[in-house]
Structure 1
Amino acid sequence: MVVRVLIGTEGPLEDLYAVPRLPWLRVNMVSTLDGAATGSDGRSGSINDPADREVFATLRRLADAVLVGAGTARAEGYRPADVPIVLVSRSAEVPESLRGADPGRVLMATVATSPGLAAARELLGAEHVLVCGQHRVDLPLLRGRLVALGHASLLAEGGPHLLRDLLDQGVADELCATVVPRVVGGDHPRIAAGPPVDVPLVLSTLLEQDGTLLGRWLITS
């Protein structure tokens, strides 16, 4: 176990979060101490804090592309970023906040049977709609296609269903998990949601600031 202080003399975050090899896919999630992945408004943005936001920004700077479930992008109000946003959705519906982006800044990963396939192609351009599977998004295939496009360092930002599927399909290499020092109670999703999975992890780095814990967990299976 490696324990470091987030802000201090230990070196820049870019070094602490450098990927060990390429291609690499990491997932970044946040939760409260009692396991809630969202706050009362149903958004993860309502439970994060400055330490988490600093790591969030660092991971984005290190990424070639960002994967996110379309539902999460819609709920969190995603907007075009410095790197392409890759939406994962069987329905292929592009959130309003991501419509009108410059060509290639938003990609859609969907399935051949998607009811929104034609509309997504018209909105984003056919070359920016990646059909990966017939009835469910084939995440290993998606990873391979993104790497072939030059996106070797991939960052997934959830939501919980996408994290579960990435783990289940053996696509993720790393989980970056922030635990903020709050307890919210209520009925909230965990960072992974859906049918059970059992994936072993190895702690690589643990950072702390003001009670917030930020861990890098490597996926060994």
Structure 2
Amino acid sequence: MDVQVLIGPEGLDPARRADVDDDTLAALYAPPVRPWWRASMVATTDGAASGPDGLSGSINDDADGRVFAAMRAAADAVVVGAGTARAEGYGPADVPLVVVSRRGEVPDGLRDAEPGRVVLATGDDAEPTRLRAMLTDRGWTSVMVEGGPSLLGSLLAAGVVDELCLTTVPRLLGGDAGRVVGGEDLDEHLELTQLLEEDGTLLARYAVRRDRERRP
């Protein structure tokens, strides 16, 4: 089944709403302004953020992978927690990876990256507002946050995330798997700005903290 645009830009050609080619997908996921921080997460219909193996990679699908690639292509840098990078087997990417680590350790799979391709954020540099300012100063103004849940929770609490891109796959897992946002309690109001569908998988974009002034 082709990707369909259920909710999206009013000016999108109706003929392209039910067969979203790569160019259309790139336009749909272009950052609306800069700087722009978007978080990308995946969950099952019953809210599990990981599969039975504890990894998010075991619940994503082709539709999620295609949109993930479009968002990666639009990013100047990727922010990810060290635990997530380690567990999910991250290696060097086409864009710089900013690894947030309380212990100041670079995951094994990233230690052989070319200079400048992996940036370690630890200590004071890992504080969310300082981290956003630091990356903006480097010219990395389109940033993709890939989790994990605890890191996303801290970034949301600090008000540095502009958008949540959430893929919901049509699966039920039960059990006690964690959710896409962890850490401290939150009460964020989201605005649905875009919704795609393919074979039951829903790919949503939500604006966050629209009632607050975005940080520089």
Rounded Cα–Cα distance in structure 2 between residues aligned with 1:45 and 1:7: 26
Matched, 1:181 2:170: yes
Displacement of 1:7: 5.8
Size of the aligned set, in residue pairs, is 198
Displacement of 1:9: 5.1
Rounded Cα–Cα distance in structure 1 between residues aligned with 2:20 and 2:164: 25
TM-score (norm 1): 0.86
The match for 2:13 is none
What root-mean-square deviation, in Å, do the aligned CA atoms of Structure 1 and Structure 2 show? 1.7
TM-score (norm 2): 0.88
Rounded Cα–Cα distance in structure 1 between residues aligned with 2:45 and 2:62: 16
Conservation of the 8 A alpha-carbon contact between 1:6 and 1:207: no
Displacement of 1:194: 1.4
The match for 1:43 is 55
Equivalent position to 2:137, from 148, 155, 167: 148
Equivalent position to 1:3, from 7, 15, 28: 7
Rounded Cα–Cα distance in structure 1 between residues aligned with 2:61 and 2:6: 22
Rounded Cα–Cα distance in structure 1 between residues aligned with 2:75 and 2:100: 17
Rounded Cα–Cα distance in structure 2 between residues aligned with 1:186 and 1:198: 25
Matched, 1:67 2:56: no
Matched, 1:165 2:179: no
Q: Which structure 1 segments of 5+ residues have no match?
A: 112-130
Conservation of the 8 A alpha-carbon contact between 2:153 and 2:183: yes
Matched, 1:54 2:66: yes
1:68-87 matches, cutoff 5 A: 68-87=80-99
Rounded Cα–Cα distance in structure 2 between residues aligned with 1:142 and 1:6: 37
- Residue 6 to residue 101, structure 1, CA distance change in 2 (3 Å): farther
Between the aligned residues of both structures, percent identity stands at 54
Conservation of the 8 A alpha-carbon contact between 2:7 and 2:193: no
Rounded Cα–Cα distance in structure 2 between residues aligned with 1:6 and 1:76: 33
Equivalent position to 1:196, from 185, 192, 200: 185
Rounded Cα–Cα distance in structure 1 between residues aligned with 2:178 and 2:20: 36
Conservation of the 8 A alpha-carbon contact between 1:39 and 1:47: yes
Conservation of the 8 A alpha-carbon contact between 1:28 and 1:175: yes
Displacement of 1:3: 2.4
Rounded Cα–Cα distance in structure 2 between residues aligned with 1:63 and 1:18: 9
Rounded Cα–Cα distance in structure 1 between residues aligned with 2:17 and 2:42: 16
Secondary structure of 2:63 counterpart: helix
Secondary structure of 1:12 counterpart: helix
- Report runs of 4+ in structure 1 exceeding 2 Å deviation: 1-7
Rounded Cα–Cα distance in structure 2 between residues aligned with 1:86 and 1:200: 27
